[in-house]
């Protein structure tokens, strides 16, 4: 989940709180015949809370249409490219798009609910050059990194909707925005996360060239822009910058209390919604909460998070780092980490101007550790979280440098950025990877005279191999 202050996609004079929530990680871009879809029997929610207590003040609920309905033509195996006619999809929902998913959004404030959008169109998967050409370049690979709304591809533009209270809304496939060497971290802290060139003197996990375990995958994303004037105002203490005004944010997914499956496709859901998953700060549930409490954490609310405070106060990860690498990081009484993670909501200062986004000159992936501040507070996590914030490096640096922070020791995992450029405009996530050519399987282009000097020789082979190796 990401939350940060910006401006409305079509009105740069209006400040908004951006909230981006990604679900269904490791979505294979070419997963036909169905491609990933939002679950119709799930309630996807964004919660706005008191940043100090976690008590909910506002909630936005997303509900999606069925995955076995919405077809124009059921006598085919193709969800996209063949509906009532065949060919590339020109616009979302047209005759070539066989399956279309829709959704509604409801806002609840003080127990009063109102529907702010209905029958909204879910964005398209990037099937490939033949079916979804407006996502891709001539080689069939996704084009991304757009800086303005006008530059966005037509499919993304058509999936952006407006809410009843000035909100902007989006739901659909995107590139997985997270980047980290999670495989190396969970290999009992494989040495490659700190050093991959044989020289620890040039920084702990700052060499680059790490293995991004999320490279080339997509997610399903649902996003909001909420006008700042629609938000409550709370006073809270930022753990590094002192008194601030803002809100807390977290996301959750709930399922019906009871599901009965009968023969065929007869599925009956009943009872109240039961929360089965939630996320606020990055890495707390994944890297600090033990197996004994993970399911319990997912089912509870931030107002009860004091019961999980010991996972931040006495972080297992600090002890593992000491065990494997012989360091002497503090492993107990970490009040600094408790201040960040408990309650587990993203605290966002709402009085600042728009924060710098990835690709802007003022942006630093390390937030305030890298000198990136906005109006006296960190531009990135733990003040909210932007796409491009290197939360693994920030968290490891906090573990290594706290609780006093008299000396900052930057520690990371050698993965400093996402595999593709984010967009700098709502809904911010990069264009979804193409099903036929993505970052895991890019198009192969063979050029004989690779360095364009008019002569085909050994230098061309070396130039090609160097470029290929750099891309890897």
Judge whether 200 lies within some domain: no
- Altogether, the residues listed in the chain come to a count of 472
Q: Determine, yes or no, domain membership for 304.
A: no
Whether the upstream peptide bond of residue 207 has omega within 30° of 0, thus cis, is no
Residue 195: how many CB atoms within 10 A of its CB? Answer: 17
Q: Is residue 370 part of a domain?
A: no
Residue 257 sits in the same domain as residue 270: yes
Quick one: 437 and 464 in the same domain? no
- Report whether 392 contacts 182 (CB < 8 A): no
* 339, 312 contact by CB (below 8 A): no
Residues 138-189 have pLDDT tens digits of 989 999 999 999 999 999 999 999 999 999 999 999 999 999 999 999 999 9
Dihedral, CA of residue 197, residue 201, residue 205 and residue 208, to nearest 10: -50
pLDDT band per the 50, 70, 90 thresholds, residue 200:
confident
Which of 34, 119, 106 lies closest to 273, judged by CA? 106
> Is 60 exceeded by the pLDDT of residue 201?
yes
Asked if residue 436 and residue 467 are part of one domain, the reply reads no
| 103 and 124 housed in the same domain | yes
Cα separation, 183 vs 192, whole angstroms: 10
Looking at the structure, do residues 437 and 465 belong to the same domain, yes or no?
no
Domain that holds residue 465: 446-472
436 and 461, same structural domain?
Answer: no
| Exposure letters 67-76 (e unless 16+ CB within 10 A, then b) | eeebebeeee
The torsion angle over the Cα atoms of residues 340, 45, 229 and 242, rounded to 10 degrees, is 0
Is 389 within the bounds of a domain? no
Query: 316 vs 32, which has greater pLDDT?
Result: 316
Q: How confident is the model at residue 441 (pLDDT cuts 50, 70, 90)?
A: low
Q: Quick check: is 365 in a domain?
A: no
Count of domains observed in the chain: 2
Name the 3-class secondary structure at 311. Answer: helix
d(C-alpha 170, C-alpha 188), whole Å: 38
Helix residue spans in 289-440 (DSSP H): 291-299, 309-313, 316-325, 335-341, 391-401
Residue 238 contacts residue 244 (beta carbons within 8 Å): yes
For the segment 244-281, what is each residue's pLDDT rounded down to a tens digit?
Answer: 999 999 999 999 999 998 887 788 999 999 999 999 99
Q: Is residue 33 part of a domain?
A: yes
Q: Is residue 398 part of a domain?
A: no
Under 8 Å between Cβ of 317 and 399: yes
- Considering the chain, what percentage of its residues have pLDDT values greater than 90? 87
Residue 397 is assigned to a structural domain of this protein: no
At 442, is the pLDDT very low, low, confident or very high (cuts 50, 70, 90)? low
Residue 72 corresponds to which tokens in the numbers above? 């124009």
């Amino acid at each position: 989940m990401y939350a940060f202050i910006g401006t409305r996609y079509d009105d740069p004079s209006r400040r908004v709180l951006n909230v981006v929530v990604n679900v269904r990680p490791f979505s294979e871009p070419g997963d036909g015949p169905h491609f990933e879809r939002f679950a119709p029997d799930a309630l996807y929610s964004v919660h706005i809370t008191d940043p100090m207590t976690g008590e909910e003040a506002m909630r936005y609920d997303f509900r999606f249409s069925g995955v076995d309905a919405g077809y124009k033509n059921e006598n085919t195996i193709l969800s996209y490219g063949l509906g009532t006619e065949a060919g590339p999809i020109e616009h979302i929902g047209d005759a070539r798009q066989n399956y279309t998913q829709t959704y509604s959004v409801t806002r609840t404030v003080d127990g009063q609910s109102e529907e702010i959008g209905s029958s909204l169109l879910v964005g398209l998967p990037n099937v490939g050059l033949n079916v979804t050409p407006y996502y891709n370049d001539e080689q069939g690979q996704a084009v991304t990194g757009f800086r303005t709304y006008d530059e966005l591809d037509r499919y993304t533009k058509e999936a952006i909707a407006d809410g009843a209270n000035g909100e902007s809304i989006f739901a659909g496939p995107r590139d997985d925005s997270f980047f980290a060497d999670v495989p190396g971290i969970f290999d009992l802290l494989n040495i490659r996360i700190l050093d991959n060139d044989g020289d620890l003197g040039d920084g702990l996990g700052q060499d680059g060239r790490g293995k991004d375990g999320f490279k080339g995958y997509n997610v399903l994303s649902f996003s909001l822009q909420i006008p700042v004037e629609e938000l409550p105002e709370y006073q809270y203490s930022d753990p590094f910058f002192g008194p601030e005004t803002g809100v807390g944010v977290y996301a959750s997914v709930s399922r019906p209390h009871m599901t009965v499956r009968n023969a065929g496709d007869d599925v009956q859901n009943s009872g109240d919604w039961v929360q089965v998953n939630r996320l606020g700060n990055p890495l707390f549930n994944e890297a600090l909460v033990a197996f004994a409490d993970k399911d319990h954490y997912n089912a509870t609310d931030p107002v009860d998070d004091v019961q999980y405070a010991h996972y931040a106060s006495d972080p297992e990860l600090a002890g593992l780092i000491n065990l494997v690498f012989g360091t002497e990081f503090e492993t107990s009484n970490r009040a600094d980490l408790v201040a960040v993670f408990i309650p587990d909501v993203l605290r966002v200062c709402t009085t600042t101007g728009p924060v710098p986004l990835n690709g802007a000159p003022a942006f630093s992936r390390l937030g305030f550790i890298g000198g990136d501040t906005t109006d006296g507070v960190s531009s990135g996590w733990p003040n909210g979280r932007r796409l491009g914030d290197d939360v693994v490096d920030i968290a490891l640096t906090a573990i290594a440098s706290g609780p006093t922070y008299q000396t900052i020791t930057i520690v990371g995992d050698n993965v400093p950025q996402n595999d593709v450029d984010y967009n700098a405009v709502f809904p911010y996530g990069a264009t979804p990877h193409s099903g036929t050519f993505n970052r895991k399987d890019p198009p192969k282009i063979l050029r004989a005279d690779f360095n364009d000097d008019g002569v085909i020789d050994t230098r061309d082979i070396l130039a090609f191999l160097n470029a290929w190796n750099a891309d890897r």
